[in-house]
Amino acid sequence: MQPRFVVVPAMPKEKPCPQHGIRLFTGAACSGFNLYDNVEKLRLQLTFNQRAEAEAECSRLNVSAPG
């Protein structure tokens, strides 16, 4: 069985390009880690700088998650 919460790389932040109105990524590198809810199918707004911090919070949430 798949755990409810898992760690995923954070999405790069986007910003508008003033010249053409298109969006550009500010950097190709991962800017941290998010948690993903496999039940609700969405990323949580929590962002962690280190994977170990994200894993610890993920474990805590999986223990306290219902069902």
What is the per-residue pLDDT across 2-61, written as a single tens digit (0 to 9) for each? 899 999 999 776 555 555 556 555 555 558 999 999 999 999 999 999 999 999 999 999
Q: Degrees (nearest 5) of the Cα angle 2, 29, 43?
A: 35
Tell how strand 5-9 and strand 23-25 pair up: unpaired
- 35: tokens are 């948690």
Strand, helix or coil at 60?
A: helix
Domain containing residue 35: 5-64
- What integer pLDDT is reported at residue 31 of this predicted model? 80
- What integer pLDDT is reported at residue 36 of this predicted model? 97
Say how many C-beta atoms besides its own lie within 10 A of residue 34's C-beta. Answer: 19
Strand, helix or coil at 52?
A: helix
- Count of domains for the chain: 1
